[in-house]
Structure 1
Amino acid sequence: MKINGEVTTGLGKAAYFLSQEFYSLEFERNLGFVPFPGTLNVVVSDDYLDEINEIKNNCQNLIKPDEGFGAVKYIPAKLCDEINGAIVFPAKTTHEENYLEFIAENKLRDQMNLKDGDIVSLEF
């Protein structure tokens, strides 16, 4: 599945969670990289929600939490046909359903010179 979405600023909470050792070690073990402590937030059209929810609900990739933290489902994905990473679905989130959170090894806003409102593609 390949979809386009708009880059937007998140709440800043992902940096704390992705800096937790048990999350970063599991992502490294399962995806081959330690994620930058933050996500690239992409808002997608509501037209994609049924397909995204089906993928999320059927996803078997799960990082079980340490005490006090939530589980995270993830699916490998590619940003703009060039950056390997993953879309994460935290069990505890305050985002709307049409917000996708993409993780990668580097700070993508800097690496790709992205700003709010830019359109990017996600393939998963």
Structure 2
Amino acid sequence: MKIDGEVTTGLGKAAYFLSQEFYTNEFKKNLGFVPFPGTLNVVVSEDNLDEINNIKNNCENIIKPDEGFGAVKYIKAVLNDNVKGAIVFPAKTTHEENYLEFIAFEKLRDKLNLKDGDIVCLEF
């Protein structure tokens, strides 16, 4: 699946969760990198929600957390045809369904000079 979406500012909570050792260890083991402590938030068209929800609901890549934290499903993805990473689907989230959270090794806003409103392409 390949979809375009608009970069938006998140809630700032991902940095804390992505700094937890049990998450970083699992991402390193399964994706080959420790993610930058934060996500790139991308709002996609609601026209894509059925397909995204189907992918999320059938995703078998799950990090089961330490007590007090939520599970996270993830699927490998590529941003703008060249940045490897993953889309994460936290079990505990306050985002709308059309928000996708992309993780990568680096802070993508800086690396790609992204700002709110920029259009990016996700492939997964």
For Structure 1 versus Structure 2, the TM-score category normalised by the shorter chain is over 0.9
Q: Is 1:37 aligned to residue 37 of structure 2?
A: yes
Structure 2 CA distance for aligned equivalents of residues 31 and 92 of structure 1: 21
CA–CA distance in structure 2, aligned partners of residues 48 and 99 of structure 1? 11
Distance in 1 separating the partners of 2:18 and 2:49: 25
What is the deviation of 1:102?
0.1
| TM-score when normalising by structure 1 | 1.00
Runs of 4+ in 1 over 2 A off after TM superposition: none
The SS at the match of 1:86 is strand
Q: Deviations over 1:21-43 (max 9, x none)?
A: 00000000000000000000000
Identity of aligned residues (%): 83
Structure 2 length as normaliser, TM-score? 1.00
Partner of 1:53: 53
The aligned counterpart of 1:17 is: 17
Tell me how far 1:52 sits from its aligned partner.
0.1
Partner Cα separation in structure 1 for residue 35 and residue 113 of structure 2: 18
Say how many residue pairs are matched: 124
RMSD: 0.2
Q: Distance in 2 between matches of 1:8 and 1:112?
A: 14
Q: CA deviation at 1:46?
A: 0.1
Unaligned runs of 5+ in 2: none
- For structure 1, the 5+ residue unaligned runs are none
Deviation at 1:91, TM superposition (A): 0.1
